[in-house]
Amino acid sequence: MTMKKHTTSVVAILLFWLTAVYVYPQNTTAAAETAAASAKREKPISGLAWLVGGVWTADATKVAPGMLRIETRYQWSDNGSYVRFTTHFVSEKQNQKTYDGNLFWDPAKKTLAMWYMDASNSVTQGPMAIDGDRWQIWFDGNDFEGKLASLRVEVLRKSPDLYRWSLSEKQGDNWKELASLDYARKPGA
């Protein structure tokens, strides 16, 4: 092999290596990030992405004596597959960490779903649906009289930083509203 051919081969290998190491991964990384962002947007749970961030706060002074507000925080799971939420009842005397749960796509049932555990270790779960600015959750739980009932939570987005939450109980073929609150997003963790 002549020196010229050897030098040309070394330069060609070096250029290939530089291209493979420095150019290809950058393009792959960009493509992977684009694909990941696209996949996240296409997941059924991504319809609730608007909830993530800040502290959603409702005035609870009329809910019970001594109650001040209810705070709910939503955040993406580390792998972006579901939304975690926590709900705290803040009163004059304490900040009660009441609910901790997840909003997710249930592939076995091919539906969106929710489950949470309350401070008494009771688990509540049920299917959910998103239709534009309306999000509904159905589950069985105790009503305000302590009776087991079919319940529905409906969240209606009014703006990027405001939603109306309502709880209804199934009575025959109809739903009777039991309570409703307006939640406003405030900056913070």
pLDDT tens-digit profile of 46-89?
Answer: 999 999 999 999 999 998 899 999 999 999 999 999 999 999 99
Structure tokens, 116: 């949470």
pTM for this entry: 0.75
* pLDDT value of position 36: 44
Strands 174-186 and 55-59: antiparallel
What pLDDT digit, counting tens, does each position of 118-137 carry?
988 999 999 999 999 999 99
Quote the DSSP letter at residue 52.
-
- How many CB atoms neighbour CB 134 within 10 A? 12
Tell me: pLDDT of 44 over 60: yes
Average pLDDT over residues 160-174: 96
The amino acid at residue 114 is M
Contact 126, 113 (CB under 8 A): yes
Give strand pairing partners of 111.
106
